[in-house]
């Protein structure tokens, strides 16, 4: 159910005060900060990655609470589902190419002009 709800919802539509809202916002903010100035396409992927992370974590927590992970001789389907969720998240993050990007540094004349403007205004 959580998967179905989050896949159709925007992060901004989740109550920001809830645990879910706080987790989504933190993940989105962390990814956005790492990309410095993400493009529109990257912002879409960031939102999807944040939702995928929360869903994968919730399913992972559920899996860890189970008394056993096998049914007879095979793994429970939820274990495979969790692996697919984590794989999807890894692909989203790989697509984003997450690595620290350097912030654009203004040239000396631009920096001095900005400082002078700040003093005046």
Task: Give the residue numbers spanning the domain of 40.
Answer: 2-120
Q: How many domains does the chain have?
A: 1
pTM of the predicted model as reported, rounded to 2 decimal places: 0.67
Each residue of 56-108: pLDDT tens digit?
999 999 999 989 888 888 988 999 999 999 999 999 999 998 666 677 888 99
Residue 68 phi, psi (nearest 5): -145, 150
Helix (H, G, I), strand (E, B) or coil at 75: strand
């Amino acid at each position: 159910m959580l998967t179905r709800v989050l896949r159709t919802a925007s992060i901004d539509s989740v109550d920001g005060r809830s645990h879910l809202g706080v987790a989504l916002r933190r993940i989105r903010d962390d990814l956005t900060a790492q990309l410095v100035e993400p493009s529109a396409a990257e912002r879409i992927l960031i939102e999807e990655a944040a939702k995928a992370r929360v869903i994968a974590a919730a399913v992972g927590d559920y899996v860890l609470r189970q008394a056993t992970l096998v049914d007879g001789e095979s793994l429970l389907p939820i274990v495979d589902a969790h692996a697919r969720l984590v794989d999807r998240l890894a692909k989203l993050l790989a697509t984003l190419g997450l690595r620290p990007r350097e912030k654009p540094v203004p040239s000396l004349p631009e920096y001095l002009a900005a400082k002078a403007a700040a003093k005046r205004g």
